[in-house]
Structure 1
Amino acid sequence: MDFVGRRGALFGLALRTGILTILTLGFYRFWMKTRLRRWYWSAMRPGGHPLEYVGDPFEKLLGFFIAVVVLTFYIGILNLLLMFVSFSVFSSSWVGYAASFAGVIPLWFYARYRARRYVLGRTRWRAVRFGLEKGAWGYAGRALWYWFLTVISLGILWPRMTFLLEKYKTDRTYFGSARLVQGGSWTMLYRAAWPFLGGVLLTALLLLWVMVLDPVLPERAMEDGEIWRTLEFMVDGGRLFYEWNAPERLWLFTLSLSVVGYGLIHYRWVTKRIMANHKTAPGISFASGLSGTRVAMIYSLGIFISYMALVIGVLMLILAAFGIFGTQIVESYLGIQMGGMDLPRWLSFGILGVLYLFVFLMWGVLHNTFVTFPLMRHMALTTTLPNANGLTRVSQRERDAFAEAEGFAEALDLGAAI
């Protein structure tokens, strides 16, 4: 597979469509997503032939409205019932809030499957459609059960959950008339989890060292809630009246937590590589050379660039707000005439609103340019089809039509990614 897209062209497209999204108060978002997907899809060229994305932004817009109506009714009725039971039985609201949150989780998994089905159904290669069978509620039920088993096993069955959920989706995926099959077993994913397990073990050993074996604070500071009173005293401006015992050791947690973060990224992407190497279709096989280290570097650099831009933008926004309103505050409370800007209130809020939207627009553009772009390129350039003889026997499949498109994923804020 080749990748022919250029970072500069993507930056310009993301910036233009982002500005139009702001000017239309968010309605252009569905067109923006469609144009970005078409750009990415056309840049990926298996065998020299570009992928095609034929999604319709009107489908996305209509699907979003349908999903909002359904979710409003569902969540509204559910919350009323849960809060009534919570107050009647437990005389408290927290049980109702917790149950309400839990009631949305199945919809989250349902929306993810539906979004995948829509994207595949609107993707073509050499005019042949991809597709995904119905089964969103089956996926949601399995995801809930596998997550439950993973939690009660303290994460030991995490690879089992990863494999079985991917197998459920892969075994229902088609390219034309060819059905994909996920081979292998879930135990093969354990080797991808070693960096994460190493980070967790290192963090646990550090906690044992600085809290039990050689505490940073004296024993009496750790007893009877004294440590919390000490922290509160420090927050109020007081000085710590306990001697620290080699507090520089606490910096080691930066290292251990970095290893944990790398382990999570490594696990997610290396499991994709392992499972891709065990995907087949009649007469077709796949191979992936995804590098967990390369992906971690992309995340580290890209997220640093995008979030630094966000932090700098927010600081500039604060300075602008102080420049506009700061003089008024000083004059009101201190009675000092500063002679600053005297802008109408509506214009002041308008300027700050535009700056606020521009800051988050640039964050989205940079995230697209320095995170999504290199990830898509790396996935494309490391994917091959060692055996493609079965492609000659593939025939066309019918077009999937579903009214709500990605509406539930958009309404639940799961559709931001490409």
Structure 2
Amino acid sequence: MMSKKASNCAICDNSNRASICAVCVNYRLNEYNSLLKSLKNHRDLLYSKLNELIAAKGKADDQLNWRVRQSEKLTNLKEKLRRSKEQLAQGKVKIERVSHELKVKYGVLKSARGTLEKNRVEKLEKFYPNLICTQSLGHMAITSERLHKQSVVIKQICKLFPQRRVHLDEERRDGSSGQYDLICSARLPRGLDPHSVPTEELAASLGYMVQLLNLVVHNLAAPALHNSGFAGSCSRIWQRDSYWDARPSSRSNEYPLFIPRQNYCSTCGDNSWTDKSSSNFGVASMESERRPHLDSINSFNYSSASPHTVETHKDLQKGISLLKKSVACVTTYCYNSLCLDVPTESSTFEAFSKLLATLSSTREVRSVFSLKMACSRYNLLCFLLIYELDFI
């Protein structure tokens, strides 16, 4: 049976039943509601404490897991270091063993090479002394004759294209003074400045230098760094497309060695002076034009010049640079072949002129040749002397 509960209602109290009237029911409901609220608050408090404990437990577990992982990494690194040290020690031992084996093999090879060289010398001394002597003397005679004919040809070329360096003490009408390199009485430009000499003289001197360079390269069998086409005062120079193709790789890689006439430079692009199809090398007229010099000795003014004139000036500078590089290449090659030092204090064209003067002198060429062949002659005479002593 249900216990009788206190109530202000007499009916509910006497009937010994649950609350029947509205007042008792509301009273009981309010009690239950209050009890539920207190239990709910207590539950929420317990939940918050439990969440705090779970969060603290998670942080502790994370720290523990981190320590375990770091300990495992440290252990792996120590093991890896140990294996690396073992591999290093094994590698050092292997390298030392291989080095020792190589030294032994090199010693054997050196001994075998010495024996072979000795046997070769003995065979040559025994079977081919006369042949070697004859061939060496013949080679020396042929080389001497070749150098003599080469000096004669170079002397004739130097007469056709005389070069010299002059110093202008007094200023000329065109404003030029100082030192200049001359070829056929035409001044060559200073450095890469095409306006250091008048236009007609610039085109003529560069054309002479192109023809002279082509003749020297052909007769001396020297390497040509760039290809050049001689066309009088309208010559050009370019970098060849490949070893087999002497043509320029593109139109932009072909550079002039002259300044076109001003009225022609101002024409449209279809008739530009870089057109290869022109029979006059892209110039409207090969005839010289009697006009005042527009290019003074002063530096080129980029600000007041038109874009086409600036481009023409840069292309001309590039052409002069390529020509000087070609001349320097031939000069260095020939000086090295003669076992002589290249003059360091001379300009590019002056060093080239000195080289041609040396090559055109038969006496100087033979003196250089005698110095080169002195060692080979000495070795040959020693060989013949040893052979004659053995024969006696």
Bin of the TM-score, shorter chain as denominator length: under 0.3
Larger Rg: 2
> Normalization by structure 1: what TM-score?
0.20
**Which structure would you say has the larger RCO, counting Cα contacts within 8 Å and 6 or more residues apart?**
1
